[in-house]
Amino acid sequence: MNTKHLVRSFTLGLTLIGMLACEPVVSKHEEEICIDFEQPVIENFQNNQVYAAKGLVFNNRYTLSEYEWEGKTYTSETWYGFSLSAMCDTVTEGFGNQYSCSAGKAAGGKQFGLFYYSAYDADSSCFVRFEEEKEYVIKGMQITNSTYAYLSMKNGDDFAKKFEAGDYLRIIFKSYDAEGKYLAQKTFYLADFRENKKTLLNSWEFVDLRELGKLNKLSIFFESSDTGMYGINTPTYVCVDNLIYIKVQE
């Protein structure tokens, strides 16, 4: 290997490492801001509040209800949108393991983000937005399946089918400006069994979102081949980490 090729390879390697480790690779007029979800430190998960970090707000809808049955008071909770998580159980199937990451670890540190999509409130279910109606380019984020969704697609369960030829689970990123105007969209497959493919993601993959342009709000929608009269049967979760946006210095 000649010296020129060695230098080029070394430079490319450093650039890739910087991208995955939230290190800035931008011009002097721009700053890369990385949300790595490491604060606040949690023991398992935090699903009951809106999450805000470094100028971005992650939507959350949480309801705690009380009811009585045969003289006893019980509580139940419902949530959708964003949750913070530190859970990485890759073997336990079912809803009880909904906060775990199929990759077995966060992409960088010990914590990551998790979105749960509700088709009953699709437009307001999963989204992030910049504070004070700011608009910036989101460079991208790392993504993988939750363990619950991954094992459901791999093995099937009481509510959803085992994936086979022709099946898919995909997310659609949609961008909006500060006035709520739709701008652009990008599709990413969490599972893809179409056209002889057998992709079922259980490792972290960086998704480049720069093509969505300068935006105020980024929404996530789900679509699945396993859909019935009540909507998507496949668990609609996605784990995210190291979200990077590009802030122009004013």
Report the range out of 17-21, 66-70, 143-147 with the highest average pLDDT: 143-147
Per-residue confidence band for 123, with pLDDT thresholds at 50, 70 and 90: confident
Q: How far apart are CA 19 and CA 40, in angstroms?
A: 23
What local confidence, expressed as pLDDT, does residue 176 receive?
A: 99
Please give the mean pLDDT across all residues of the chain.
91
What local confidence, expressed as pLDDT, does residue 12 receive?
A: 46
What local confidence, expressed as pLDDT, does residue 20 receive?
A: 52
What local confidence, expressed as pLDDT, does residue 3 receive?
A: 44
DSSP 75-104: EEEEEEEEEEE-B--SS--SGGGTTBBTTS
What local confidence, expressed as pLDDT, does residue 216 receive?
A: 99
Q: How far apart are CA 223 and CA 171, in angstroms?
A: 6
Whether residue 8 has pLDDT greater than 60: no
What local confidence, expressed as pLDDT, does residue 210 receive?
A: 98
What local confidence, expressed as pLDDT, does residue 249 receive?
A: 77
Give the number of other CB atoms < 10 A from CB of residue 175: 23
Q: What is the mean pLDDT of residues 48-76?
A: 92
**How buried is residue 247: exposed, middle or buried, by Cβ count under 10 Å (0-12/13-18/19+)?**
middle
State the residue for tokens 């998960």. 45
Lowest-confidence region among 2-6, 177-181, 188-192: 2-6
pTM: 0.87
CA atoms within 13 A on the CB side of 41: 2
Per-residue confidence band for 98, with pLDDT thresholds at 50, 70 and 90: very high
Strand residue runs (E) in 9-158? 30-35, 45-46, 51-53, 56-58, 60-69, 72-85, 112-116, 127-130, 136-144
Whether residue 15 has pLDDT greater than 50: no
What local confidence, expressed as pLDDT, does residue 4 receive?
A: 44
The phi and psi torsions of 45 (rounded to 5 degrees) equal: -150, 160
Q: What is the mean pLDDT of residues 12-31?
A: 58
Per-residue confidence band for 7, with pLDDT thresholds at 50, 70 and 90: very low
Hey, what domains does the chain have and what are their CATH numbers? Answer: 25-248 (2.60.120.1350)
Collapse the DSSP code of 122 into the 3-class scheme (helix H, G, I; strand E, B; otherwise coil) and give the result: helix
Q: What is the mean pLDDT of residues 94-109?
A: 98
Give the pLDDT confidence of 187-230 residue by residue, as tens digits: 999 999 999 999 999 999 999 999 999 999 999 999 999 999 99
Give the pLDDT confidence of 74-94 residue by residue, as tens digits: 888 999 999 999 999 999 999
User: Percent of the chain beyond pLDDT 90?
Assistant: 79
Helices and strands counted in the chain (H then E): 3, 18
